[in-house]
Amino acid sequence: MQSFIFDYYGYNVKEIVDSHFDYKNYRFMLILSKENELNIAKLDEFLLSLSEKFAGDIVYFVKNRYNQYISLNETNNIILLTYKIGPIDLNTIIKMHQEYFNYYQAKLNLDEIITLWEQRIEYLENQCLVMLNFDNPAHKDLYEYAMYAIGMAENALQYLSDLKIDYKEYLVTTLTHRRIKKLDKWEIFNPFNLIFDHSGRDLAELYKNGLINLDELIKITIDYQYKTNEYQYLLARILFPVSVFDILEDIYLDKNYDYSESIYKAISLQDKHLIRVKEFYKYLINHVNIRPIRWLEL
C-alpha cells in the first residue's frame, strides 16, 4: 500500500494504520468507494461551500497525479481524503445546522424513513437473527437483547407513522450526519457521512451515544425552538436502537469471527440507551404535549 500511495499521490509513507496515515499535521484517510468521478466531483463542489463557512477547516478530497479522484489498487477503487489534525466541539454541529437550515428548501420525507426502518427490521429478523449460533452463550444473550431491540424499533416505527397522522406540517431539513459515534473532524466532515435530514437526527445520535447529556439536549432543542412535532421526531429517532443491530449485521457479514467481546459491549450500550430514552421521555411528558408511549412509563 505504501508503494501505491507514492505512485498515485507522491507521499513517501512509512506506516499505514487503520487505513490512514499522518503527514505534516494532516491525516489522510483511504477509503474504498463505488462512486464515480462525476458524483465525487459534485460532492467536492459542495465541500467548497462547506469550507467557506468553516474557515477551510474541513475534510477534503485529494486528487491523484492524474488529476482524478479515484485511484485503482488491484481491483479496488480508492479515494483519498485529508483534514488538518485538531479538536472539534459540539458548536461545530450546531453551526452546521444553522448555516444549512432549509438550504435546499426540501421537506423531510417521513415515508422514506419509515420504509427504510421497515426494511432494516425485516432484514434483521429474516436474515441476521437466523445466523446466530445458540451453542455460543454470547449469541444466546444477544438474541434476547435483539428481540427487545426489535420491539423498540417497531415502537419507534409506529411513533413515526403516528407523527404523519398527528401533524400535516412538514419538518424542515438541514445538513446532518448518517451516524455520529464520536466528536471528531473526520466524523463530522466526512462527505460520505453527510446527509440532509431534520436536526433531530443528529441530536438523537449525540444523545444515544452519550456525547451530550439530557440537560444539553434540552437546551439545544429550546435554542432551536422545537415544536411538538419536532420533539416527536426526535423521540422516535432516540427510541430506534442501533448498538445491538450493528453487531447483528457484523455477525451476518463475517460468521467466522468471534464477536463475543463486541456483543457484550453492544448489550451494555443498549442498557444505557434505554435509560436515556426513559429520561428524555419523562421530560417530554412533563413539558411537551406529545403522544404518550405507555411502556416507557413503567
pLDDT tens digits, one per residue of 264-296: 999 999 999 999 999 999 999 999 989 899 888
Q: What is the pLDDT of residue 26?
A: 94
Burial class (CB in 10 A: 0-12, 13-18, 19+), 84: middle
pLDDT at 102 over 80: yes
- The predicted structure's pLDDT at residue 106: 82
pLDDT of residue 298: 73
Q: Residue 164 has what pLDDT? A: 87
Is 123 found in the same domain as 50?
A: no
Angle (deg, nearest 10), helices 228-239 and 214-223: 150
Residues 82 and 24 in one domain: yes
Phi, psi of 21 (to 5 degrees): -145, 155
User: For residue 219, what are the CA distances in angstroms to 211, 225, 231, 264?
Assistant: 14, 10, 13, 32
Quickly list H helices, 76-136: 90-99, 110-123
Q: Which of 42, 69, 86 is the last residue of a domain?
A: 86
Nearest alpha carbon to residue 148 among 280, 285, 279, 266: 266
CA distance 62 to 54: 19
Last residue of a domain, one of 86, 115, 145: 86
What are 278's three cell numbers? 426513559
Task: Specify whether 98 is located in the same domain as 170.
Answer: yes
Q: In b/e form, how buried is each residue of 106-118, taking b as 16+ CB within 10 angstroms? A: eebebeebbeebe
The answer, yes or no, to whether residue 256 has pLDDT greater than 90, is no
Residues 150 and 121 in one domain: yes
Alpha-carbon distance of 207 to 156, in angstroms, equals: 16
Q: Where is pLDDT greater, at 175 or 18?
A: 175
Host domain of residue 271: 92-297
The pLDDT of 119-129, averaged and rounded, is: 96
pLDDT of residue 75: 84
pLDDT tens readout for residues 167-225: 888 899 999 999 999 999 999 999 999 999 999 999 999 999 999 999 999 999 999 99
Is residue 124 very low, low, confident or very high in pLDDT (cuts 50, 70, 90)?
A: very high
- State yes or no: pLDDT of 32 exceeds 80: yes
Nearest of 241, 233, 107 to residue 159 by alpha carbon? 233
Q: Based on the structure, what is the number of domains in the chain?
A: 2
Quote the Cα angle for 247-237-231, to 5°: 160
Mean pLDDT value across the chain: 94
> Which residues have CB under 8 Å from 244's CB, separation 6+?
142, 145, 146, 149, 266, 267, 269, 270
Q: Using a pLDDT cut of 70, give the percent of the chain over it.
A: 100
Domain termination residue (choose one: 86, 119, 153): 86
Identify whether residues 256 and 127 lie together within a single domain.
Answer: yes
Q: Are residues 132 and 233 in the same domain?
A: yes
Residue 18 scores a pLDDT above 90: no
Same domain, 102 and 17: no
Same domain, 45 and 77: yes
Question: Using CA atoms, how far apart are residues 269 and 205, in angstroms rounded to an integer?
Answer: 13
Q: Are residues 179 and 286 in the same domain?
A: yes
pLDDT at 130: 93
